[in-house]
Structure 1
Amino acid sequence: MVRMTGKKSTAKLHHYVPQGYLRGFATSQERIRVVPLDCSRPPYTPRVKNVAAQNHFHTVGEFEEPDAFEKVLSEVEGQALSIIRGFANGEFPPSEENRWAFAHYTALQSVRGPDTRRTIEHLRATVVRLEVGVGGRKNVGTWIQNNLGFDPTSEQEDRIWDEATQPGGPPIGFSNLAHIQNTVETAIELTPYLATRPWTLVRFDRRSLITSDAPVSLVRRPDDEPWEGVGFATAWGVTFPLTRKLGLLMSDPMAMLEGVGAGDPRVQQFREMVLAGRIDRIQSGTTAMEKFFNTHTAESAREYVFHHPEDERYVPVNLPEPDLLNIKPMGGLVDMDFDGEPLFASD
């Protein structure tokens, strides 16, 4: 639990994409171009401080300082921005300490946004809808007793049945504290999948990179089917635009270990080589690499694409629709209507 003492002012506007990071895509006056994925909304050019932020996104009353997590994030972000500056100045590959630190920052950035919170709320609502709907109306009282811990009245049963079985499930909120706990735990789990990938630092001269409100993108394997999911353990690569002129590609470590079993000692040897930076490389940015980065960045965006005001030509033409859900349950039971009868007969 984060505990901080002393009477200090509480920050109100909390960024889920760091201001320091966004400055790498902004003008010297800290202006950045915002392109909403909602095509009915025109692009605009605000200051960085007003981008990718929500009021009290990390405020937690349980902490002695309600914005304690925001301050902890600032320390993590400060270290990461220092590492990015080092990359820009030729300090690549990073030390193993900086590699782990930046891998953790990347993992944290991938799960800290409102899309993660909305996805978890959606998945939980879907699970509740299935549990209640499959059990039938006559068993909703038992479900309430087992899951909510009280004996409901008939009116309460009716209300919970109606809310739970409506399309999309019941309105379930994910608290700031729960979101922070999930963010921290998930980032810790994901960090090794990033640190142990070979890293390629791509430097651009004539062309530029864009970024988004979800700047860490997973690249599918070439032979994956479109319907197959992709995760940090299975992705061919991970792209992360660091500045408008600098991109990081974390590639597939298994591509160099084809045919080698998991228990083979060469796997551990290769892992040690990766962590030592001996597989990393620096590459000059080409037109193909710019399009590769920018296409995946745009496809991973949830609501907004960001870019330097002079880089509009590098934004892909066909942007996706806005969507705060990064995982979607399959059809079948999820989409069915419930008529009040138990789906399965009891013994």
Structure 2
Amino acid sequence: MAKLVRRQHVVSQFYLKGFANEANQLRRVVLPGDKSHIVSSSDASVIRDFYTVTLPDGSQSDIFERTFSEIEKPAADALRSVREGEWSLRDEPRAALSLWIALQHLRGEDVRSSQTQFKATLIRLTVGVSGKAALREIIEKAEARTISDEELEWEWQDLTKPGGPTLMPEINGHLKVLMSLHNGMSRYLYDAHWTVFRFTRRALVTSDRPVAMTVAPDYPPEHGVGIFTADAFLVPLSRRAAVMIQPRDRTPDANAPDFEIAGTAMVARSINQEIVRHASRSIYHHPDDSPLEGLYLPQPGRRDPNADIGSGLIKEEGLFAGLSKEQLKAFSPPSPSANDSKGMTIKDLPWPIPGRIKPER
């Protein structure tokens, strides 16, 4: 059966045109900013088969890409009206943009990688708390052979390193998260307070993560920022307009109408810095603009601040080694009720671990 190969946009093509010239060209700046080139809006932010799923019969489907296009069509019309000066939005275009902004946030590489990082961290902690002897037992039982101390040490070091084992990103898991969160996030955005900033001379940038979730400067970075903990969602709409969406409970007046504000040089710089800071690998802007001067450009693929979480729980002898049966009872979970599920233990760890990328020995 032939493999389906499709060029799929991780950032909507209709959106990127708002930052392009008349020839639909953008300048792509590769983080950390020492390389850039001209790219067409149709080629920017394209990843092959990023949303292509394998069905139970083994065939491949681009159903999600086609579903996304149904959200993009009304959003493109709504975005065009905002770019052309309409404000505030009526219910229908507001709903269309809310659906698209939620989709654009959830469809990206960063959401997929965060799911992979969470799974890797869970594996790391499960193995680290259980100890080397338990890991040996799992491997030897699954492979029906005796492993050497050297091989056990190699497996242990890889599985318990900061961030956990390297795993292949999982398409199906990512799309399940997208489907479970999309409607709730879009309703949350629809009910929020919207402020559009318009600029006549200053230019804005966008990135491969065009929806930036912002928080107060004193927010602890190790806590992570989620949909319902962000103080605002910042989205550049074109090189001359951006929208800030604030949950009603984060605004001084929960009943205030949407605002339209003439942007200043300082506001443009602040928006650009926030978008650049949230970028994953690429920044996009109009070829005639130079909006990155004086901005801090981060390194690509920045290290997860939670990669070392739980390091104190990882022990070769196992976290609970040496405790008596009576002492262990204090750490045992209560008897599960009918609607409770058992927590993961090393006995639940499939071996070999699906999607694991082993380093060379």
TM-score class normalised by the smaller sequence: 0.7 to 0.9
What amino acid is the match of 2:43? N
Residue deviations 1:253-301, cap 9 Å, x none? 225457xxxxxxxxxxx5xx5xxxx611211121122112111101110
2:11–2:208 CA contact under 8 A, matched in 1: yes
Q: CA deviation at 1:167?
A: 4.6
C-alpha deviation, 1:166, in angstroms? 4.2
CA contact (8 A) 2:163 2:308 kept: no
| Aligned partner of 2:240 among 220, 239, 245 | 245
Please give the alpha-carbon distance, in whole angstroms, between the structure 2 residues aligned to 1:99 and 1:252.
15
Q: Which residue, 123, 132, 135 being the options, matches 2:118?
A: 123
CA displacement 1:51-104 (0-9 Å, x = unmatched):
111111111121876111111112212221111011123432222233233222
The aligned counterpart of 2:311 is 334
| Aligned counterparts of 1:312 and 1:280: Cα–Cα separation in 2 | 30
- The gaps in structure 1 that reach 5 residues or longer are 1-8, 259-269
Structure 2 equivalent of residue 22 of structure 1: 16
Return the TM-score normalized by structure 1: 0.80
Change (3 A) 1:155 1:124: farther
Q: Could you tell me which of 67, 74, 96 is aligned with 1:101? A: 96
3-state SS in 1 of match to 2:79 = helix
Q: CA deviation at 1:206?
A: 1.0
Deviation digits for residues 221-243 of structure 1 (CA, Å, limit 9, x no counterpart): 25535655433323332110011
Do 1:118 and 1:324's aligned partners in 2 also have CA atoms closer than 8 Å?
A: no
Partner of 1:282: 260
Q: Does the C-alpha gap of structure 1 residues 324 and 187 become closer, same or farther in structure 2, counting only changes over 3 Å? A: farther
Per-residue deviation at 1:35? 0.7
**Paired residues of 1:114 and 1:324 also in contact (CA < 8 A):** no
Mapping 1:252-267, distance limit 5 Å:
252-256=247-251
- Give yes or no for contact 1:294–1:316 (8 Å, CA) kept in 2: no
Q: Partner of 1:191 in structure 2? A: 186
The structure that is helix-richer by fraction is 1
Q: Which residue of 2 aligns with 1:5?
A: none
- TM-fit CA distance, 1:184: 2.2
Distance 1:336 1:312, change over 3 A: farther
Maintained 8 Å contact 2:192/2:247: yes
Larger displacement relative to structure 2 (109-118 or 295-304): 109-118
Q: Which residue of the partner structure matches residue 296 of structure 2?
A: 318
Q: Percent identity?
A: 29
2: CA distance, partners of 1:216 / 1:243: 13
1:315: how far off?
Answer: 5.0
2:285 matched to which residue of 1? Answer: 307
CA positional deviation for 1:314: 4.4
Structure 1 counterpart SS, 2:291: helix
Task: Return the alpha-carbon distance in structure 2 between the equivalents of residues 322 and 192 of structure 1.
Answer: 32
| More deviation, 314-323/192-201 | 314-323
> Contact 2:94–2:190 (CA<8 Å) still a contact in 1?
yes
Q: What amino acid sits opposite 2:37 in the alignment? A: Y
Q: Secondary structure at the match of 2:204?
A: coil
**Partner of 2:269 in structure 1?**
291
Paired position in structure 1 for 2:27: 33
Whole-Å Cα distance in 1 between the matches of residues 221 and 209 of structure 2?
21
Kept in 1: contact 2:205–2:272 (CA 8 A)? yes
Structure 2: gaps (5+ residues): 326-361
| Aligned residue in 1 for 2:35 | 42
Counterpart position of 1:179 = 174
What letter matches 2:260 in structure 1? I
Q: Which amino acid aligns with 2:94?
A: R
- Map 1:73-84 onto structure 2 (within 5 A): 73-84=68-79
User: What is the SS of the residue equivalent to 1:178?
Assistant: helix
Q: In 2, Cα distance between the equivalents of 1:219 and 1:112?
A: 18
In angstroms, what is the RMSD of aligned CA positions?
A: 2.9
Q: Equivalent residue of 2:28, what SS?
A: strand
| 2: CA distance, partners of 1:97 / 1:254 | 23
Question: What amino acid does structure 2 have at the position aligned with 1:299?
Answer: R
Structure 1: how far apart are the matches of 2:293 and 2:180? 33
Q: Give the match for residue 6 of structure 1.
A: none
> Structure 1's 178 and 95: CA in aligned 2 closer, same or farther, altered over 3 A?
same
C-alpha distance 89-166 of structure 1, shift in aligned 2 (>3 A): closer
Which residue is 2:229 aligned to? 234
Between the two proteins, the alignment pairs up a number of residues equal to 315
Which residue of structure 2 lines up, in the alignment, with residue 262 of structure 1?
none
Q: Secondary structure at the match of 1:312?
A: coil
